[in-house]
Amino acid sequence: MDSVNIYKEYCTGCGLCHSVYGVELVSDEKDFLCPEIANDNIDKLMKVCPCGGAAAKEMSDKDIWGKQENVYLGWSSDSEIRREASSGGVLTSLCIYLLKHRLVNGIIQTVGDNVYGTKTVVSRTEEDVLKCMGSRYSVSAPLYDIKQLVKENEVYAFVGKPCDVSALRMYLKEDAGLCKQIAYMFSFFCAGTPSGTAQKMLLKELGCNSRSECVSLQYRGNGWPGYATAVKKDGTESKINYNDSWGKILGRDVRKICRFCIDGIGEMADISCGDAWYLNDNNVPDFSEHEGRNVIFARNIKGLELLKKAMTDGDIIADKYEEYEKLKFIQKYQYERRSTMYAMIRGLRICRVPSPVYSKNLMKNYRRNAPVKLRIKRTLGIMKRFIKGKI
């Protein structure tokens, strides 16, 4: 299969190739950033892009939830952060902790911009970090100018989607200078980046006919999960619940790689967080409003040590995660995407279309977690989508 096509088809839009190799990125009709890849970039990209499989070679094949030193259930001890943040505010509290204890000079992270846009900023104060709090269910390219953002003699933490962290983690092996400057990497569970088209549909559902009618769009938070809320220029506010915003609009139109992402759980980060949803009696996540909770994965010793310090100092309240066995219901989409990846990639191969090049052994190990019926359904599903021209 032509490598350039694989990289074009399965780009995550993180922007690293722009910052480091000067690759141009242009927005497609759905507002996804797409690289102008040339043949001479391919060898470099193979070492960093998630679809090239370099990171997948470093993932744990022992546990479907990936590398871990410990797993906790927790939230920020600051009740306002816990309320305003995406889940329980653990990521925001960790960033503030790092700045407060001068463990880093800044946090490279994503903030909302112009209703549903995003930009990458370096947060240097608690106030800066608080502005970034919450989930932006829209296109972000946190590595687009990472090399240009860092200042000599400073160290940083980075917060990004699992694919951003994965690309950065792989690239740092090549760049010893930048490696010394990125002290921590945090990520979150991610089911995918919704398109610009999905943003417009969401705005419409919220009663805004255009971006310019709106002054702000919040996707969740201010409760858990909170409501997707748009504020119009005339000050009126409209909102819809999480199930309707994510489930019926945003989650239906995500970037292509997101459907074939093998790491939606932040395995390459030092610490990764997800929603620790409550389950109803039928083991279905309960999206009614509660106080926010994170499932917190300390992915390595460095992450574990930081988390323990933040817990001992009282910034994060957390305890051993007792519902680990139920995570397959709590994070059903993540569980099924990982365990059926082999089946989906097989579907792509049967159709002779480009596919990400993940390690066969890894996918086969995850495959044990999915019933045969579901795997067959996924392979056939890919083939049907191909026949309908949707792949």
Ligand X SMILES: Cc1cc2nc3c(=O)[nH]c(=O)nc-3n(C[C@H](O)[C@H](O)[C@H](O)COP(=O)(O)OP(=O)(O)OC[C@H]3O[C@@H](n4cnc5c(N)ncnc54)[C@H](O)[C@@H]3O)c2cc1C
Structural contact between residues 282 and 178, judged by C-beta atoms closer than 8 angstroms:
no
For the residues of 28-57, what is the DSSP string, one character each?
-TTS-EEE---GGGHHHHHHH-GGGTTTGG
Handedness of CA 364, 366, 372, 375 (dihedral sign): negative
Say if residue 225 is preceded by a cis peptide, omega within 30 of 0.
Answer: yes
- For ligand X, the binding residues in 164-183 under the rule CB under 6 A are none
Q: Which residues pair with 286 in a beta bridge?
A: 278
Q: Among 88, 106, 162, 354, which residue interacts with ligand X (rule: CB under 6 A)?
A: 88
Q: Among 11, 73, 132, 271, which residue interacts with ligand X (rule: CB under 6 A)?
A: 132
Which lies closer to ligand X via its Cβ, residue 97 or residue 346?
97
Element holding 21 (H helix, E strand): helix 16-21
3-state secondary structure of 15: coil
The answer to the question of residue 379 lying near ligand X (CB under 6 A) is: no
Residue 141 to residue 265: CA distance in whole angstroms: 18
The answer to the question of residue 66 lying near ligand X (CB under 6 A) is: no
Residue type, 90: V
Which lies closer to ligand X via its Cβ, residue 45 or residue 168?
168
The answer to the question of residue 217 lying near ligand X (CB under 6 A) is: no
Element holding 200 (H helix, E strand): helix 196-205
How big is the site for ligand X, counted in residues (CB under 6 A)?
35
The answer to the question of residue 140 lying near ligand X (CB under 6 A) is: yes
275 backbone φψ class: left, alpha, beta (φ>0; ψ -120 to 50) = beta
Residue 158's nearest CA partner among 183, 185, 179 is 185
Q: Among 32, 144, 189, 242, which residue interacts with ligand X (rule: CB under 6 A)?
A: 189
- For ligand X, the binding residues in 318-337 under the rule CB under 6 A are 331, 333-334
CB of 369 to ligand X, least distance (A): 17
CB of 67 to ligand X, least distance (A): 17
Contact window for ligand X (CB under 6 A) among 32-40, 86-94, 166-174, 306-314: 86-94
The answer to the question of residue 90 lying near ligand X (CB under 6 A) is: yes
Q: How far is CA 226 from the centre of its chain?
A: 19
Structural contact between residues 222 and 81, judged by C-beta atoms closer than 8 angstroms:
no
Q: Among 13, 53, 142, 196, which residue interacts with ligand X (rule: CB under 6 A)?
A: 142
Which lies closer to ligand X via its Cβ, residue 207 or residue 223?
223
The answer to the question of residue 191 lying near ligand X (CB under 6 A) is: yes
Q: Among 67, 136, 255, 346, which residue interacts with ligand X (rule: CB under 6 A)?
A: 136
The answer to the question of residue 245 lying near ligand X (CB under 6 A) is: no
Structural contact between residues 242 and 226, judged by C-beta atoms closer than 8 angstroms:
yes
CB atoms within 10 A of CB 52: 23
CB of 121 to ligand X, least distance (A): 9
Q: Among 68, 92, 105, 340, which residue interacts with ligand X (rule: CB under 6 A)?
A: 92
Element holding 159 (H helix, E strand): strand 156-159
Contact window for ligand X (CB under 6 A) among 24-32, 36-44, 132-140, 199-207: 132-140
* Residues at the site binding ligand X, with contacts judged by CB under 6 A: 85-92, 109-110, 118, 132-137, 140, 142, 159-161, 188-191, 193, 264, 273-275, 294, 331, 333-334
